[in-house]
Chains A and B, each alone.
Chain A
Amino acid sequence: MLEALQLPFMQRALLAGLLVGGLASYLGVMVVQRRLSFLGDGLAHAAFAGVALGLLLHQEPLWVAIPFAVGVSLAITWVRERSSLSDDTAIGIFFAMSAALGVLFMSLRQGFAPDAVAYLFGSILTVTPTDLWVMGLVALGVAALLPLWPDWAYATFDRELALADRRPVLLHDYLLAALIALVVVVSVKVVGIVLMAAFIVIPAAIARLLSQTFAAMTLGAVGIGAFSVLPGLAAAYLFDIPAGSAIVLTQALFFLLALGLRRF
Chain B
Amino acid sequence: MTAAAVEMKGYSVRFGDFRALQEVNLTVPQGAFVAIVGPNGAGKSTLLKALLGLERGSLRDGPTQVSGTVRVMGLPPRQVPPGWVGYVPQVKGFDRSFPALALEVVVSGLRRRWPFLITAPERKKAEEMLDRVGALALANRRLGRLSGGELQRVYLARSLIREPRLLLLDEPATGVDVVGEADLYRHLEAYQAERGATILMITHDWEAAQHHASAVLVLNRRVVGYGPPERVLCHECLSQAFGHVGHEHGLVLKGD
Residues of chain A at the chain B interface (Cβ within 8 Å): 33, 81-84, 149-154, 156-161, 163-167, 170, 208, 211-217
- Are B108 and A215 closer than 8 Å at their CB atoms? no
- Are B112 and A165 closer than 8 Å at their CB atoms? yes
Chain B residues within an 8 Å CB radius of A170:
59
Q: How far is the CB of B17 from chain A (nearest CB, A)?
A: 14
Chain A residues within an 8 Å CB radius of B60:
81-84
- CA gap between A138 and B6 in the complex, in Å: 47
Instruction: Return the 8 tightest CB-CB contacts between A and B, nearest first.
Output: A153-B114, A150-B113, A154-B114, A165-B112, A164-B52, A165-B82, A215-B116, A150-B114
A212-B142 CB under 8 A given contacts A164-B52, A217-B99? yes
- Are B89 and A214 closer than 8 Å at their CB atoms? no
Q: Which of A33, A161, A166, A215 contacts B87 (CB 8 A)?
A: A161
Q: Which of A149, A167, A215, A216 contacts B112 (CB 8 A)?
A: A167
- Are B116 and A157 closer than 8 Å at their CB atoms? no
Q: Map CB proximity to A onto B72-114 as digits: 1 under 8 Å, 0 otherwise.
A: 0000001000100101010001110111110010001001111
Q: How far is the CB of A64 from chain B (nearest CB, A)?
A: 31
- CA gap between A151 and B117 in the complex, in Å: 14
B248 within 8 A of A: no
Chain B residues within an 8 Å CB radius of A163:
52, 54, 58
- Are B95 and A213 closer than 8 Å at their CB atoms? no
Given A164-B52, A212-B99, A212-B101, 20 other A-B contacts at CB below 8 A?
Answer: A33-B97, A81-B58, A150-B116, A151-B114, A154-B113, A157-B108, A158-B95, A160-B89, A161-B89, A161-B108, A163-B52, A165-B82, A166-B53, A167-B112, A213-B99, A214-B104, A214-B114, A215-B115, A215-B116, A215-B117
Interface of B is mostly: loop
Q: How far is the CB of A17 from chain B (nearest CB, A)?
A: 26
- Are B104 and A213 closer than 8 Å at their CB atoms? yes
Chain A residues within an 8 Å CB radius of B78:
166
Q: How far is the CB of B212 from chain A (nearest CB, A)?
A: 25
- CA gap between A167 and B112 in the complex, in Å: 8
- Are B54 and A157 closer than 8 Å at their CB atoms? no
- Are B54 and A149 closer than 8 Å at their CB atoms? no
Chain B residues within an 8 Å CB radius of A152:
114
Chain A residues within an 8 Å CB radius of B82:
164-166
Chain B, range 98-150, C-beta contacts under 8 Å to A: 98-101, 104, 108, 111-117, 142
Chain A residues within an 8 Å CB radius of B95:
157-158
Which residue of chain A lies nearest to B58 when distances are taken between CB atoms in the complex?
A: A159
- CA gap between A163 and B89 in the complex, in Å: 12
- CA gap between A132 and B61 in the complex, in Å: 43
- Are B115 and A164 closer than 8 Å at their CB atoms? no
Chain B, range 34-59, C-beta contacts under 8 Å to A: 52-54, 58-59
- Are B87 and A214 closer than 8 Å at their CB atoms? no
B243 within 8 A of A: no
Chain A residues within an 8 Å CB radius of B52:
163-164
- CA gap between A150 and B114 in the complex, in Å: 5
Which residue of chain A lies nearest to B105 when distances are taken between CB atoms in the complex?
A: A157
Q: How far is the CB of A199 from chain B (nearest CB, A)?
A: 21
Chain A residues within an 8 Å CB radius of B255:
none
- CA gap between A242 and B59 in the complex, in Å: 44
- Are A216 and B99 closer than 8 Å at their CB atoms? yes
8 of the cross-chain contacts (CB-CB < 8 Å) are A33-B98, A84-B62, A153-B116, A159-B58, A160-B93, A165-B82, A167-B113, A214-B99
Q: How far is the CB of A158 from chain B (nearest CB, A)?
A: 7
Q: How far is the CB of A231 from chain B (nearest CB, A)?
A: 26
- Are A157 and B58 closer than 8 Å at their CB atoms? no
Which residue of chain A lies nearest to B116 when distances are taken between CB atoms in the complex?
A: A215
- CA gap between A154 and B104 in the complex, in Å: 11
- Are A164 and B113 closer than 8 Å at their CB atoms? no
